[in-house]
Amino acid sequence: MSSATALKRAQLADHIQKRFGISWVDVGGVSRKPRVTYCRQRAAFVLRDNGMTVVEVGEKLNRDHSTISHGTRKLGLLAKYDTQVAEDVAVAVSAMAGVTRQ
């Protein structure tokens, strides 16, 4: 794992912990609780937005690439119609601003 990737994951994990009270272990875990899956989808969306492939994101979140693809598409569609989801995504993306992929 490159230092930029580690920083990106650590920064995102910190953001999720502060905003939702969900640990990175839970995000990458097996829980299907709506609150955890929502955070997992946000994490995937932000990592994709920062240039990671669906395979790379899947490896970080212990998920198959097709699960990542479905989740990011779903969150993107929800953000178009739900202002709270759009705000959550915007806050997460801005929290990651300036962290680039190597």
Per-residue pLDDT at 98:
54
> pLDDT per residue over 30-68, tens digit each?
999 999 998 899 889 988 888 889 999 999 899 999 999
pLDDT band at 100 (very low <50, low <70, confident <90, very high): very low
Would residue 81 count as lying in a domain? yes
Q: Which two tokens stand for residue 11?
A: 């920064």
pLDDT of 102 higher than 50: no
Would residue 75 count as lying in a domain? yes
Would residue 102 count as lying in a domain? no
| 11 class by beta-carbon count within 10 Å (0-12 exposed, 13-18 middle, 19+ buried) | middle
d(CA 23, CA 27): 6
CATH of the domain at 69: 1.10.1750.10
Domain that holds residue 70: 3-95
d(CA 80, CA 12): 22
Number of domains in the chain: 1
Would residue 74 count as lying in a domain? yes
